[in-house]
Amino acid sequence: MSRLEFYSRPLVAFDPDNKEHRQIYYRFVRDRSWGHSPYRFICPEDHGTDLITMIQRLLIDYYIRREFGNRLQSTQPKIRPKHAKKG
């Protein structure tokens, strides 16, 4: 391990429930820099997007859950079951 890795900021997964993480992202948007962040946020491979888009999506989900709770219904259309033909 190199010295640069030893002194680098720790890797952390962004957690929208963590107030400090939300505040760090707010400062990134305001200052357009991660320079103040004590962490390096990671983007899991299964997410399939860049870090900023991932954080935005997580925050949208967080604030929607906070605003509406579990009242949101599925956006899938309801399909009635087909009746079997008699005869």
Position 81 pLDDT exceeds 70: no
Tell me which range, 3-12, 48-57, 76-85, is most confidently predicted by mean pLDDT: 48-57
15 C-beta neighbours (distance < 10 Å), count:
13
Over 80: is that where the pLDDT of 61 sits? yes
Rounded to whole angstroms, how far apart are CA atoms 86 and 33? 68
22 has pLDDT over 80: yes
Q: How many helices (DSSP H) and strands (DSSP E) are in the chain? A: 3, 2
Percent of the residues in the chain that have a pLDDT greater than 90, as a whole number:
57
Q: State the average pLDDT for the chain.
A: 83
